Amino acid sequence: MIPLEEALRRILDNLPSPATETIDSRSAHGRVLAEDLTATSEIPPFNKSAVDGYAVRSADISTPPVELRCAGESRAGSETRGQLGLGEAVAIMTGAPVPRGADAVQMIEKTRRSADGSRVTILSGVRAGENIIPEGSEASTGKVVLESGRYLGPAEVAILAIFGYRQVTVFRKPSVALTATGDELVEADQAPAPGQIRNSNAPSVAAQLKLLGLEAEYLGIASDDRAQIKRVILEGLRRDVLIMTGGVSVGAYDFVEEILREAGLEIIFSGVAIRPGKPTVFARRGDRIVFGLPGNPISTFVSFELFVRPALGRICGLAAAGLFRVQGRLSLGVGHKSERTSFIPARLSWSQDGWVIDPLPWKGSSDIIGFSRANGLLILPQDKKAMAEGERVEAVLLPDFWQRLTR
Amino acid sequence: MIPLEEALRRILDNLPSPATETIDSRSAHGRVLAEDLTATSEIPPFNKSAVDGYAVRSADISTPPVELRCAGESRAGSETRGQLGLGEAVAIMTGAPVPRGADAVQMIEKTRRSADGSRVTILSGVRAGENIIPEGSEASTGKVVLESGRYLGPAEVAILAIFGYRQVTVFRKPSVALTATGDELVEADQAPAPGQIRNSNAPSVAAQLKLLGLEAEYLGIASDDRAQIKRVILEGLRRDVLIMTGGVSVGAYDFVEEILREAGLEIIFSGVAIRPGKPTVFARRGDRIVFGLPGNPISTFVSFELFVRPALGRICGLAAAGLFRVQGRLSLGVGHKSERTSFIPARLSWSQDGWVIDPLPWKGSSDIIGFSRANGLLILPQDKKAMAEGERVEAVLLPDFWQRLTR
């Protein structure tokens, strides 16, 4: 058994080297950029009006009110044309090019147009440059606008569009295979015989992967049979990552670790000083990695979040792929047998004073129904037997924290 | 112009009544349950061992060490069989049924099997019930295990599988149409002529919708032409929700609000006392709603997060669909013209002492490149001219906050 931090370190040390691929920008949302992208043009591409109003020479209106002659209009989408003469104003729309000769725009609310439209009175003065966004002021051609490593969210997607990037190079998503082992398991759409239960790990791991933008190839249930487990491991090794649930404990039919060795994998660790999730196995063969997660639903869930998420997030290029850790006030005293660090289902809420962490009533590490109300996990360190109400404690937020909020 | 809170209230008061649909459970992840679901069987379905070890009568081993006769084994997936006699033990695996007659399980680490396997020495005693998860202790048949309104994340998906729910009734996703207006716009894959720019709002709004699990039908760019805008509005009203960008300001070619009225929509509000996002329009005709978002990329982005996200999240059944609001310490003094509440791009990080809120350097409300580094928005209230370094301020977190973390 190794400590959690050591397990995480070994995982990060044994990940395959990151690969990249070039994809259509229209599917770039949610990916991580693997190249620097530069401005392909000046932004804005012309001196642009920030408001609806009148383009003027600021010197002309230094002693307002001043009446100017209306010399046409500049609307969004039109080309910069003509030259503003002395004593002239041009009606201008937000986003439209400022005509040559004008050095400021007065907003429409501070103007009054004559009845016949031929003249406009500017009611207050403007500084030179006021309400004009100068050509190239937001980006100049060739300057890096998105660096390698940037997560591509909605605003970054907008930037790709602005500069006309049709393709971008991003970190490649790993291919993932998923299998569940256990003689007691039947699929969710089957009726369990006496002594059997439905397999819930494959659906929940698939959902956890989806939160990372990943989809797994499901290899089905393998029974507790050496030949069958070996077959499914070899099948899974055709993908970048194999996730197995069950078969990693110390029972007489827990073959997974042994067969991973037989299949030529190096066991990077087996057993972590946490609860739940202790028997987690992490193995590697070249660029392929295998996670063996303990089989009860909560152990599978927690092990995934603690080990698989940071690993796969890192392969996808995310800078901070682990769960977000915060400190807060415990609303209720809790205790545990203290030989391992415990992760206890909790509901976190934000108050003016900080995070409030409510440990949830649950019936232990197979009670997924009680566990499912959690939006975070309270961390009880190995060296503390109990923590009191009001004590400052640590917790991690689950990745779908927002959706799980109920206020 | 109405205050933000009033705008949000009016939106929530004018949403269509929630609709539901019954879907395959395999696509239930990310949806919100619209019915109560009950346990279809006892969980666990039998007295289940929590560990690998030996099922025993606790009274037999009250004075350990005690040697017992090995009377077979119970493995996961097998049926409960036989009856444990006096002085007997049965080897048992985690998750396997406890044989009748046994009232506890001793873990394998506290036992020693004889060389021929016929006997086992139990090295320490166990309480009655120890290491047994009683039948029905986590759920009893007919009891509600997931209530209407629950967000279906990975743990809830596991529960659907455990109870064999093949179909579930969830809140229906709204259908969404999306259009951008403006003579200055060309699509991202076109080369802009002088005075034109590429449309970045459709791609960024599509990405914002994707974070809600929604996909929009894109109706293309409408030029600043009454007939064309009317046509696209009527087309968009065939969906539950129409999102338009641009054309809502006070310029001579900002027709959207006027044409919405012509098309029989009631304008619920037009103009909100915020910056950016002031000209946002919200309109309704029966069960159809329309958002008119201001056209510059940041205004579109912020208006979507403040108005569209809570509305669509609510229609999808989410209890708390707005941005998550926190308080924290400002790392740098900021000021603004104070006639409206400002939302300023910021990077939020968590320190032991709470949130630290770093306002980002940016060049105003069209600088999407500067803005794109934000993982949250600092709120500068209308009634405050400036806020000092170290002052306690409010901010909201963007919905993809986690992915945007860089540490």
Predicted confidence (pLDDT) per residue in B314-337, tens digit = 999 998 888 999 999 999 999 887
Q: What DSSP character marks residue B58? A: G
Q: What DSSP character marks residue A392? A: E
Question: CB-based contact (8 Å) between B117 and chain A?
Answer: no
Is the Cβ pair B251, A52 closer than 8 Å? yes
Residue A107's alpha-carbon distances to A122, A388, B183, in angstroms, are 9, 61, 21
Predicted confidence (pLDDT) per residue in B244-296, tens digit = 999 888 777 788 999 999 999 999 999 999 999 999 999 999 999 999 999 98
Question: CB-based contact (8 Å) between B114 and chain A?
Answer: no
pLDDT of residue B253: 77
Q: Which of A251, A324, A365 sits opposite B52 (nearest CB)?
A: A251
Q: How far apart are CA A215 and CA A210, in angstroms?
A: 6
Q: Which of A138, A185, A404 sits opposite B366 (nearest CB)?
A: A138
Predicted confidence (pLDDT) per residue in B338-375, tens digit = 789 999 999 999 998 899 999 998 777 778 999 999 99
Predicted confidence (pLDDT) per residue in B52-91, tens digit = 999 999 999 999 999 999 999 998 888 877 789 999 999 9
CATH superfamily label, B4-17+173-315 = MoaB/Mog-like domain (3.40.980.10)
What is the CATH architecture of A4-18+173-315? 3-Layer(aba) Sandwich (3.40)
Ramachandran angles phi, psi of B25, nearest 5°: -55, -30
Task: Provide CATH 2.40.340.10 ranges for chain A.
Answer: 324-397
- Residues pairing with B388 in the sheet: none
What is the CATH architecture of B20-43+138-171? Alpha-Beta Complex (3.90)
Q: How many CB pairs under 8 A join A and B?
A: 326
A365 interaction partners in chain B (CB closer than 8 Å): 50
Is 3.40.50.620 the CATH classification of the domain at A21-43+138-171? no
- Residues pairing with A26 in the sheet: none
Q: Which of B207, B295, B407 sits opposite A154 (nearest CB)?
A: B207
Predicted confidence (pLDDT) per residue in A323-378, tens digit = 999 999 999 999 887 789 999 999 999 998 899 999 998 777 778 999 999 999 99
Task: Provide CATH 3.40.980.10 ranges for chain B.
Answer: 4-17+173-315
Task: Provide CATH 3.40.980.10 ranges for chain A.
Answer: 4-18+173-315
Q: Which helix (H) or strand (E) holds A158?
A: helix A154-162
pLDDT of residue A95: 86
pTM higher than 0.90: yes
Is the Cβ pair B252, A73 closer than 8 Å? yes
Task: Provide CATH 3.90.105.10 ranges for chain B.
Answer: 20-43+138-171
Is the Cβ pair A297, B371 closer than 8 Å? no
Structure tokens that stand for B225 in this block: 């032409």
Considering the four listed CATH numbers 2.60.120.620, 3.10.20.740, 3.20.20.10, 2.170.190.11, the one that applies to the domain covering B48-133 is: 2.170.190.11
pLDDT value at A385 more than 90: no
* 3-state class (DSSP) for residue A259: helix
- The mean pLDDT of A33-58, rounded to a whole number, is 95
Q: What DSSP character marks residue A82? A: S
The CA distance from B76 to the nearest CA of chain A, in Å, is 5
pLDDT of residue B55: 96
Average pLDDT of chain A is: 94
Is the Cβ pair A96, B195 closer than 8 Å? yes
Ramachandran angles phi, psi of A166, nearest 5°: -85, -25
pLDDT grade for A191, boundaries at 50, 70 and 90: very high
Question: CB-based contact (8 Å) between B193 and chain A?
Answer: yes
pLDDT of residue B248: 85
Structure tokens that stand for A120 in this block: 């406009």
Which of A:341-380 have CB within 8 Å of B?
Answer: 350, 352, 354, 363-372, 374
DSSP string for residues in A340-364? SEEEEEEEEEEETTEEEEEEPP--S
Asked if A100 and A126 count as a contact pair (C-beta separation under 8 A), the reply is no
A350 interaction partners in chain B (CB closer than 8 Å): 324-326
Is 1.10.150.20 the CATH classification of the domain at A324-397? no
Question: CB-based contact (8 Å) between B111 and chain A?
Answer: no
A106 interaction partners in chain B (CB closer than 8 Å): none
Is the Cβ pair A78, B46 closer than 8 Å? no
Task: Provide CATH 3.90.105.10 ranges for chain A.
Answer: 21-43+138-171
pLDDT of residue B95: 86
Is the Cβ pair A203, B80 closer than 8 Å? no
Structure tokens that stand for B166 in this block: 């093949």
